[in-house]
Copies of this chain bind each other. A is one copy, B any other.
Amino acid sequence: RVNGQRLWNTLMEMAQIGATDKGGCNRQALTDLDKQGRDLFVQWCEDAGCTVTVDEMGNVFAQRPGRNPDLPPVLTGSHLDTQPTGGKFDGVFGVLAGLEVVRSLNDAGIETEAPLEVAVWTNEEGARFSPAMIGSGVWSGEFNLDYAYARTDKEGKTFGEELARIGYKGELPAKPRPLAAAFEVHIEQGPILEAEEKTIGVLSGVQGMYWYDLTLIGQPCHAGPSPMETRRDPFMGLHRILDELYKLAEEHAPWARATFGDIRVEPGSRNTVPEKLVLAVDLRHPDQNILDSMDQRFREIAARVADDIGLEHQIRDEWRSPAVKFDDQCVEAVRSSVAGLGYSNKEMVSGAGHDSVYISRVAPTSMIFVPCEKGLSHNEAENAEPKDLEAGANVLLHAMLKMANP
């Protein structure tokens, strides 16, 4: 069993880097604070006897040797970057639970057959650099390196420059190696486990998610003399499209999601009807067929509304992450570990994307969830119970041991 108090202390120490007034974290990818967080993690791993390597995407791998160095390692990990108004647990818990597994095995003097690894994947959140999960995405072959390096933040700084600047552009090629298994433990970021009073979520997969930039282009004109009837006003299109997309999500309730996280306006002058609005659209559904039908409806709605109002419109596919089904053997390793430990549990699908989405393409993978308070995440008030975090780390420990000692 892991040391729950030590895990909690480690989480709280990491949370001081980028701590916000409201008790959350702002430690966005490839900032100075991200570097500080990484440096601290690397130090902890080295102190725990691990060998640390960094790949050309800044993904960090801390390896605890196994008895048989020829066996492919069992990997766990998640991310240390946060949302701009993020919490202390999203991602960080998965990384530090991995470290706690290593520390606990050290304390107990337990060797494994296969090596164990704890990974930190770069820019999982997609908040500073879109898309999300780009570190694990390049590593697993979904994106190529040049695409990743060229991604820009809102100030126009590139991923590649910022990665080099914080000193985490490593030598190791960002590409898959043979792995016996990959696990990731994470807070649920939703309300189900808490509502059903379950300690552990046994994940069978991840819902599909599509990201778009919807651009509406109208005709700028003066707010005063220009008659309402002749305006080609992007806001007139926006409100109808939002309305129809919320209704589309309702049609596919309770699982569909429609989220608008960002909007830009040009020229952005109070007394001028805008020329352009750019809306970030995020559509999700666990059923790939339904998600694809939502995708079609979105395109149809945007085209029809734009046409009605005399707007031009463009839809740019920013990111497409289809629904994922995890590896049966890995899911079973989690299931039997939970059963052995006697935790209440529920089989479920993840609503959020995780690095495991991409890792699952090149290695047998599954995930473990623990409840979080009120299901709140991507929020500074994000919170979780120490006993649930400890339980999640225990399940991780047992699942990793099962796969590392075949």
Contacts and interface: CB of A to CB of B under 8 A. Distances in A.
Kindly state the interface size class of chain A when it binds its partner: 35 or more
A259 interface: yes
Given A262-B268, A262-B269, A270-B261, A375 B220 contact: no
Contacts of A376: 219, 221
Contact of A259 (B85, B223, B275, B378): B223
B267 A84 contact: yes
A285 to B, nearest CB: 10
A226 B375 contact: yes
B350 A257 contact: no
Interface string A182-211: 000000111110000000000000010101
Given A191-B227, A350-B224, A378-B222, A270 B275 contact: no
B228 A249 contact: yes
Q: Which of A236, A246, A260, A352 has the most CB of B within 10 A?
A: A260
Given A273-B261, A282-B270, A379 B220 contact: yes
Total copies of the chain: 2
A312 to B, nearest CB: 15
Contact of A125 (B84, B233, B268, B271): B271
Interface stretch (A126-134, A324-332, A335-343): A126-134
A84 B250 CA distance: 40
A308 interface: no
B267 A271 contact: no
A134 to B, nearest CB: 13
A229 to B, nearest CB: 7
Given A130-B270, A191-B230, A226-B375, 8 more contacts: A219-B376, A221-B378, A222-B378, A228-B254, A233-B259, A261-B265, A261-B274, A271-B352
